[in-house]
Structure 1
Amino acid sequence: MTTIKEITQYMEQLAPLSLQENYDNAGLIVGNPHEPVKGILCTLDCTEAVVAEAEAQGCNLIIAHHPIVFKGLKKLNGKNYVERVVIEAIKNDIAIYASHTNLDHVRGGVNDKIAAMLGLEKVKILSPKKNILKKLVTFVPIEHAQAVLMALHEAGAGQIGDYKNCSFRTEGIGTFRPTAQANPFIGTLNQDEEVREFRIEVILQDYQEPQILAALKKAHPYEEVAYYLSILENEIAQVGAGAIGRLGEEMDEIAFLNYLKEAMSLQIIRHTPLLGKKIKTIAVCGGAGSFLLQDAIRQGADVFVTADYKYHEFFDAENKIIICDIGHYESEVYTKELIISYLSEKFSNFAILKSQVNTNPVSYF
């Protein structure tokens, strides 16, 4: 039987929890990770109606984009919808898992889904993250270097953009003296030793550190493995906020607005004044994305598709770009299909369903 933990671990291969913003609360919010999965219901928001739907469909795991518990709960007495959802989930043995800003920040995540809905090409991260890359340096006897490198690569080290198994090595002489308490792989107790070694360097993301160090220590022949880690300032092109890409063919502004409305099934678009230009390059950000406006302008976007713009923030376009606020729910509702598609690639022994509940708290008259 597949457990909830196996599902969440697979979700975190796509969107590691370490990539969520520090204010976020992604992960398993309600439920026992060791329970077997009977069925999964995928939703944008977890509401009382969604919990009822999960129970009716025989699903004991809800995977949502937005965490139902965002701020700390001090009481559970049903005074608001958050507490009622948690109570109902616990009463019905339904687990709730959220993949939120961590899913926003990865390739194949929320913003790539929006880009795909709009048919964008040459898509890349709009604002790559910094300070999440590390460099691992270790020293290995030459004859064991290839085996250690293979173990590091299998654990995920050495991924740079679209290139895998990247490394650098230089040859040198390692020196050491095993003490009386040592059990050396090479050398004699209390005698200085010299060994021809490779200095091996690989790049990793910070969330990969535990598994990669475990692989290093398992594959390395030495009793004491010499290594060090350093944090890099480099941006990582595969992780960050928003996305930017190009239409297959440029459009007039009105034609693009109609295209956007149809592609995303929108009732309304709030936008800044049109500029009388052709539309080709599109920046996107699911949910509240105003913090990315200057990135979109710097990278030459003609339009920025996002949500939750405040009145005065629209002025920040300054006739350099068209801001299209399509609504928070509307920008992220297709995350349900994204999660279903991802999980269905691996799991087929239980139902993975899309919630039919419209959780949008905003109505249009």
Structure 2
Amino acid sequence: MLTVKEVYEVVNGFAPFASQESWDNSGLLVGSMTQPADRILTTLDISEEVIAQAVQQQVQLIVAHHPVIFSPLKALPQNSPVYQLAAHGIAAICVHTPLDMSPVGLNAYAHGLLAEPLALENAQSVLEPSWTDGRGFGWIDTSTRTWTPQALAQVLEKTFGTVRYSAKETPIRKIAYCSGSAASMLELAVAKGCDALITGDIKHDRWYAAEFENIALFDCGHYGTERFAAEILAQRLRDAFPAAQVTANAGDDPAKIFIGDEKA
């Protein structure tokens, strides 16, 4: 019988929980280390859809990117995902910032996706070093060609889905990238000589800041840049536990975009 502890140790091997940011809440958040984990579901978020699938498939452990408990809980109503997991005896391991920073995690995976279509030199450096060994958030790399914002947006749309981008024309060679929500790193990218920052969840004021800094900004969405977490986690666990039943489901983007008379 595979246990939650064994899965936890494998995840800790490629995305050390000790590397998480002080504000993060990664680790075993629901259940016990001694629980069985022969049936595993990996995902981005522990949503209603994911819990329903887990119950239907008799999943024993969910391994997710985003923490199912982030802020302190003051109540536990029946519609809480934590309540529902506990009620069905499903354990939950969440690996948030450690997976962002992992050499085989989200940002590294995105670099692999973008290296060829963006003609990157594959000489990336870390955008924001955070941990003692130099690993951190995002990356910086240089393209062998010069891009316009429109041309770069076309490539990003094919990779991530819907993309918003700066209207200001500026030539792009040196590119910064960070999955999730990293518009706060705009000034850092500028200081490091970048021509563009690709991330998600960009607030209104950041677009104007980018104009003044003469840097192109691309919003590929939080879901768009991080949905790959489900498959990254699943593949690592399949390799470690060939006999286990491991299913990946990134879930659907909870936000829809209305275009004309149809939802995109």
TM-score between both structures, scaled by the size of structure 1: 0.65
**Residue correspondence of structure 1 range 25-44 to structure 2 within 5 A:** 25-44=25-44
Query: Can you give the 5+ residue segments of structure 1 that lack an aligned partner in the other structure?
Result: 134-235
Q: Deviations over 1:53-87 (max 9, x none)?
A: 01222321111111111111122222xx5x2x112
Q: Which runs of 4+ in 1 moved over 6 A?
A: none
Q: Name the SS of the counterpart of 2:124 in structure 1.
A: strand
Alignment CA distance shift 1:284-1:356 (3 Å)? closer
Q: What is the deviation of 1:246? A: 3.0
Question: Could you tell me which residue of structure 1 aligns to residue 229 of structure 2?
Answer: 335
Question: Could you tell me which residue of structure 2 aligns to residue 301 of structure 1?
Answer: 194
* 2:111 matches 1:112: no
Q: What is the deviation of 1:125? A: 1.3
Query: Can you give the 5+ residue segments of structure 2 that lack an aligned partner in the other structure?
Result: 259-264
| Distance in 2 separating the partners of 1:77 and 1:289 | 32
| Distance in 1 separating the partners of 2:250 and 2:229 | 13
Question: Could you tell me which residue of structure 1 aligns to residue 246 of structure 2?
Answer: 352
**Residue correspondence of structure 1 range 248-259 to structure 2 within 5 A:** 249-259=145-155
Letter in 2 for 1:22: S
| Distance in 2 separating the partners of 1:126 and 1:342 | 25
Alignment equivalent of 1:245, drawn from 121, 141, 157 = 141
Q: Name the SS of the counterpart of 1:312 in structure 2.
A: helix
Letter in 2 for 1:111: N
Alignment CA distance shift 1:97-1:248 (3 Å)? farther
| Distance in 2 separating the partners of 1:302 and 1:68 | 36
| Distance in 2 separating the partners of 1:90 and 1:276 | 52
| Distance in 1 separating the partners of 2:127 and 2:220 | 18
Q: What is the deviation of 1:348? A: 0.6
**Residue correspondence of structure 1 range 62-211 to structure 2 within 5 A:** 62-78=62-78, 81=79, 83=80, 85-119=81-115, 120=120, 121-129=122-130, 133=132
The answer (yes or no) to whether the contact 1:66–1:98 under 8 Å persists in 2 is yes
Q: What is the deviation of 1:271? A: 1.8
Alignment CA distance shift 1:337-1:280 (3 Å)? farther
| Distance in 1 separating the partners of 2:105 and 2:157 | 21
Q: What is the deviation of 1:90? A: 1.3
| Distance in 2 separating the partners of 1:110 and 1:333 | 9
| Distance in 2 separating the partners of 1:340 and 1:282 | 29
Letter in 1 for 2:125: K
Identity %: 31
Q: Deviations over 1:307-347 (max 9, x none)?
A: 11111121221252101011111111111121122222211
When structure 1 is superposed on structure 2, of 37-46 and 247-256 the one drifting more is 247-256
Q: Name the SS of the counterpart of 1:5 in structure 2.
A: helix
Letter in 1 for 2:192: Q
Question: Could you tell me which residue of structure 2 aligns to residue 233 of structure 1?
Answer: none
Q: What is the deviation of 1:30? A: 0.7
Q: Deviations over 1:185-208 (max 9, x none)?
A: xxxxxxxxxxxxxxxxxxxxxxxx
Question: Could you tell me which residue of structure 2 aligns to residue 181 of structure 1?
Answer: none
| Distance in 1 separating the partners of 2:188 and 2:250 | 35
Q: Name the SS of the counterpart of 1:246 in structure 2.
A: strand
The answer (yes or no) to whether the contact 1:42–1:352 under 8 Å persists in 2 is yes
Letter in 2 for 1:300: G
Q: Name the SS of the counterpart of 2:50 in structure 1.
A: helix
| Distance in 2 separating the partners of 1:246 and 1:353 | 36
| Distance in 2 separating the partners of 1:26 and 1:328 | 18
- Greater strand proportion: 1
Alignment CA distance shift 1:110-1:66 (3 Å)? same
* 2:173 matches 1:280: yes
Alignment CA distance shift 1:364-1:117 (3 Å)? same
